[in-house]
Amino acid sequence: MKLALVGTGNMGQAIERLALQQGDEIVARFNEEHPLPVEADVSVLNGADVVMDFTLPHVVRAHIDAYCRWRVPAVIGTTGWYDQLDEVRQQVEASGATLLYAPNFSLGVALLKHVLQQLLPLLERLPDYDVYIHEVHHTRKADSPSGTALMLARLIVDGLSRKTRIETETQHGRIAPEALHVTSTRAGQVFGRHTIGICGPFDELTLEHNAYSRDGFAAGALQAARWLVGRRGFFSLDDMLNEWLHATTNRN
């Protein structure tokens, strides 16, 4: 695969390392010093099959406009823009473009999400259990709470009738029972730790994903890029995983 890296920071570098090991080629690179020329034509991507966008929330939206105009398949790992998800979905579909996004490309987080979805109907029947989310990341992270924490929080608010809203500020006062408390810590070099706490009157269950490095994110993003080539439309990582799951189920 020929890849264009948009963002050559922590994640861009992790993807480049792994992509080269897997025999892929990096044909273009963009960063803050050499920004993506969004007004230019697709030739700036130098024949890339897929664009890997791991940049920052304030630039990603203009990048997505360009990917749609250029109709180049784009894997979007950048977080912090999900308030515009519906608008982007419509834009991608209307322009006949190809885009796949995920707040977290780690397969471990996909498993965590799956477990949470199985648990929620049970928790619905156990009203004494309260739920919270905590995430920890390195101090250079631009957005907070993380995209992953917000994705998990939305699953809980959608799947648990007693949680009706997400409350993200660090609180020193009371938390209303209907608020899902989502908190963030920024410390050192932490790659990404997400904890879902389920607190009952007598015990607490914690489900936690802790990334050992950025390699899991990079590997998932490259798998998604391979899956995306030749498709058209708006996708999330779930679309790829569901297809795999069904292929496996049908074989058994």
Ligand X SMILES: NC(=O)C1=CN([C@@H]2O[C@H](COP(=O)(O)OP(=O)(O)OC[C@H]3O[C@@H](n4cnc5c(N)ncnc54)[C@H](OP(=O)(O)O)[C@@H]3O)[C@@H](O)[C@H]2O)C=CC1
**In this complex, which beta carbon is closest to ligand X, that of residue 15 or of residue 157?**
15
**In this complex, which beta carbon is closest to ligand X, that of residue 30 or of residue 227?**
30
Residue whose C-alpha is closest to residue 192's, from 152, 223, 159: 152
What are 150's two structure tokens?
């917000």
- At closest approach, how far in Å is the CB of 109 from ligand X? 8
69 is in an annotated binding site: no
Binding site for ligand LZUJQKHR (CB under 6 A): 79, 103-104, 137, 141, 146-148, 192
Whether 141 is catalytic is: yes
What are 61's two structure tokens?
């939206």
The catalytically annotated residue of 113, 134, 137, 209 is: 137
Whether 137 is catalytic is: yes
The CA-atom distances, in angstroms, between 37 and each of 42, 64, 77, 91 are 10, 12, 19, 20
211 is in an annotated binding site: no
Q: Which residue is nearest to ligand LZUJQKHR (CB)?
A: 192
145 is in an annotated binding site: no
Q: Is 37 exposed, middle or buried (0-12, 13-18, 19+ CB in 10 A)?
A: exposed
- Residue 184 and residue 144 in contact, taking contact as beta carbons nearer than 8 Å: yes
Binding site for ligand X (CB under 6 A): 6-12, 30-33, 35-36, 54-56, 59, 77-80, 102-105, 140, 143, 147, 217
Cis bond leading into 145, ω under 30°?
yes
Active site residues: 137, 141
Binding residue ranges for NADP(+) = 29
